[in-house]
Chains A and B, each alone.
Chain A
Amino acid sequence: MVNMILNGLDISVEEGTTLLEAAKFYGIDIPTLCYDETLSPYGACRLCLVEVGEPGKAKLFSACTYPVREGLIVKTNTKRVIDARKMIIELYLASCPSSKKIQDLASEYGVTEVRFTPKNDECILCGLCVRVCEEQMQAKAIGFIDRGVNRYISTPFERQSEDCRLCGACMYICPVCQARCQGPREEETICNACLNISPPCLEKYDEAMCYMDPCVACELEKEPDE
């Protein structure tokens, strides 16, 4: 067992666990986009950053790929971490405003403005589809092509792959494929409708509708023949 300090608490975890797994075990919430517990971690989305190291010398690392070690000092919610997370979410919003997951993250972390020119990327290159295809489906039909901003996901030679069994796992696992709700402010880059702890729908209903998946509050409002 490895002993370390997480958010001021002395904890003990098994060797070989990552900081993210350790935090989850102790009920500490760290946001992620490219992580799935059934797949190997990748560390690409940079949302799960935590502060590791002694005060004054600490650096930020992605928790999903950082192995626990004896004597580590880890903090998951320092100002430095939160500031980084907010800027990263702002960047995600500017890239991919049509994703429900990203809009929800924005509301959760209080990101209320987007100061970058919005694009409409359909992919955040989290790599979940590549990993599920390789690790769960054992097909390796898709992968990362090219580099930098030109990076995209595709099959060999951009054609139908013989290795692809059309299982749909890649679509299933994609965090961006789930479109945002067509609720209030749907045209704007940032919605923030669920920003308040008390969602607007609570004024009408007994239960906050947007915590249902999918949210149907606006559907219930419509007249039958609309």
Chain B
Amino acid sequence: MAPLPVKFKTKEDFLSFKQRSIEQYEKNRCYLAVCGDTGCSVQGSKNLYDQLEIYLRKQGYTENVKLKCTGCLGLCENGPLVIVYPQEIFYQRVEPEDIEEIIEKTVIQGEIIERLLYSDPVSGEKYIYGRELPFYKSQLRNLLEANWKIDPGSIEDYIANGGYAALVNAVTEMDPGAVVEEIKKSQLRGRGGAGFYTWVKWEECRQQTGRKFIICNADEGDPGAFMDRSLMEGNPHSVLEGLIIGGYATGAQEGIVYIRAEYPSAVEKLKLAIDRAEDLGLVGENILGSDFNFQVYLSIGAGAFVCGETSALIASVDGRIGEPVQKPPRLVQNGYLGRPTVVNNVESLANVPLILRDGAQKYCRVGTEKSSGTKIFSLVGKVNNTGLVEVPLGITLREIIYDIGGGIKEGKQFKAVQTGGPSGGCIPASSLDLPTDFDQLSSAGSMIGSGGMIVMDDETCMVDIARYFLQFLADESCGCCFTCREGISRLLEIVKEISDGSAKPGQLELLKELAGVVKDSTMCGLGQTAPNPVLSTLRHFEEEYRAHIEQKHCPAGVCRELITYSIDQKLCNGCGLCLKNCPAGAVTGNKKEPHYILYDKCDKCGVCTTVCRAEAVIKQ
């Protein structure tokens, strides 16, 4: 990396650097944005990027055609994604073989390559420009838009696109109280799960004296959620800027980013961002010539979901096991090292520069009365367009799943959408028109949570989902309080019995009673919300539970003890593929004769169904 000029001492220093960055950015208007996010790199985008680099160098195009390895571009399902600028031509499922054509035809001659365009799975219509895709049209990508334009490793790119202007303005023109006031007017609510008003936390901390801390919770433990990871990989400076502004507003001179170990790429990007910000004097002593000092530390998690809970997080930063403590006393009075501490989520912090730059009033125009702004959701599961979506709060679930998500994969039936991770619940088809609003989703038995949105079709068993989440929480419980440790274990025991058909009548009532007590009596958020998946699936899908108990039947065909695989003797052509591939040796039969499955050996793994070309395997 090229060395940066000396640290900014005044607002003018920043502005002249910004001017130079803009000029440089404008010069490089012709570039290819190649998604380098973990999601796309799994599909080979790293190699694609390397090959592109080689090609451009070989052809001598590097002066005029730039490459940006960006963060998540959104439509993860169709990766690797390449967007050609300045036209913003959107190519998907790009392979190294397409490179020559893309450069020679599209970049040099402005021609479109039809086969690389996105085509709607239902209508077949093709789209050229990124913004036109139905997936992107209904979104409002206030936070994620920058991912298309910047190289996350380049602080110049970030500043050229408006970055750090909010911080500079706050430190040189506003006093801390005024910053909090602006966040108050924006009505920003925590994006990590609790939906608590950010300004309340900040104001309370601002009132305390002495040493204070502000912590960015980048643990993102909810399985199925990767919004924070993509923000940190795609635009780490936006999070950093929010953290520094938070420090200024609360009077905390030390910021800590607690990030999970399972995100190695995000850790690297953040480290680089912190280093670059330090180089420019946006982190360190006497920022912009003021008496505001701010240091940033990185603390890496060691594999514990419970450390997403704020008091357990602090224990982990402190080098102890992640055991939460009861509140009160609250963190703002007794937090890290016994000092006043504020903990904010990654996405909440990324919203802060946006609010200060555009003003709270503009921010409030998006969203609902009690839930302002946008929210990033990770839309995954059985939906056509999976990926990261950013929408104004208040949009309905139906719009997200159908308009943006493109409906259910393979034309199957929608069954439920799980929101809020292990602390949330499942929402059935009857509530698809519910707006995504903090309070509305809570009263439906779920919550917005961190933003994970998992779509399920009729091949998903709700009892199995409840079992899955309970197993997850049982593994992750710290084990300190009895009701969480034993309660979750017993809830899991009962749900397992229901799933394998050995449940006695009366178990549903016991399940409800126990779930209620666990929710009420546990010390921390993990235990208190642990029963939510069970309670919400019971609330909306009780008949499915009853089918498992009373008829020993799994309607979705998932619960292993309750399904049997057999081969239709009329359809089987005796090819023997199932026999060859069966890992349990449960298929028997002679060549060219119908085969059959030995029930006592069958593992219910389903491999036979996937290999059979005659569709002769029946699941009951």
> Are A and B close enough to touch in the complex, i.e. CB under 8 Å?
yes
CB distance from B531 to the nearest CB of A (A): 13
Given contacts A46-B522, A84-B520, contact A147 B513 (CB under 8 A): no
| Cβ–Cβ contact A148 & B485, under 8 A | yes
Judge whether A160 is part of the interface by a CB distance below 8 angstroms. Answer: no
| Cβ–Cβ contact B328 & A116, under 8 A | no
| Cβ–Cβ contact B481 & A148, under 8 A | no
Docked complex: A86-112 residues within 8 A CB-CB of B: 87-88, 91-92, 94-95
Given contacts A66-B326, A115-B510, A144-B321, contact A125 B482 (CB under 8 A): yes
Residue of A nearest to B527 (CB): A46
Residue of B nearest to A52 (CB): B328
Judge whether A185 is part of the interface by a CB distance below 8 angstroms. Answer: no
Query: Which of B287-295, B426-434, B487-495 touches A?
Result: B487-495
Judge whether A226 is part of the interface by a CB distance below 8 angstroms. Answer: no
| Cβ–Cβ contact B321 & A87, under 8 A | no
Collect the chain B residues with CB atoms within 8 Å of residue A65's CB.
Answer: 325-326
| Cβ–Cβ contact B485 & A151, under 8 A | yes
A117 CA / B490 CA spacing, docked (Å): 9
| Cβ–Cβ contact B514 & A87, under 8 A | yes
| Cβ–Cβ contact B523 & A91, under 8 A | no
What is the interface of chain B mostly: helix, strand, loop, or mixed? helix
Query: Which of B168-176, B243-251, B469-477 touches A?
Result: B469-477
| Cβ–Cβ contact B486 & A44, under 8 A | no
Number of chain A residues close to chain B: CB under 8 A:
35
Judge whether B210 is part of the interface by a CB distance below 8 angstroms. Answer: no
Judge whether A24 is part of the interface by a CB distance below 8 angstroms. Answer: no
Collect the chain A residues with CB atoms within 8 Å of residue B506's CB.
Answer: 115
| Cβ–Cβ contact B479 & A147, under 8 A | yes
Given contacts A67-B329, A116-B490, A148-B474, contact A45 B482 (CB under 8 A): yes
CB distance from B141 to the nearest CB of A (A): 38
Judge whether B620 is part of the interface by a CB distance below 8 angstroms. Answer: no
Collect the chain A residues with CB atoms within 8 Å of residue B42's CB.
Answer: none
Collect the chain B residues with CB atoms within 8 Å of residue A46's CB.
Answer: 481-483, 521-523
Most buried by B among A60, A117, A147, A151: A147
Residue among B326, B479, B493 making CB contact with A43, cutoff 8 Å? B326
Judge whether B584 is part of the interface by a CB distance below 8 angstroms. Answer: no
Judge whether A165 is part of the interface by a CB distance below 8 angstroms. Answer: no
A214 CA / B177 CA spacing, docked (Å): 65
Collect the chain B residues with CB atoms within 8 Å of residue A80's CB.
Answer: 520
Query: What are 30 A-B contacts with C-beta separation under 8 Å?
Result: A42-B480, A44-B482, A46-B523, A60-B521, A65-B325, A66-B326, A67-B328, A84-B521, A88-B483, A88-B517, A91-B482, A91-B483, A91-B487, A92-B482, A94-B490, A95-B486, A115-B510, A116-B490, A116-B493, A124-B482, A147-B304, A147-B306, A147-B321, A148-B475, A148-B476, A148-B478, A148-B485, A149-B477, A149-B485, A150-B479
Closest CB pairs A-B (n = 5):
A151-B479, A87-B517, A148-B477, A147-B479, A148-B479
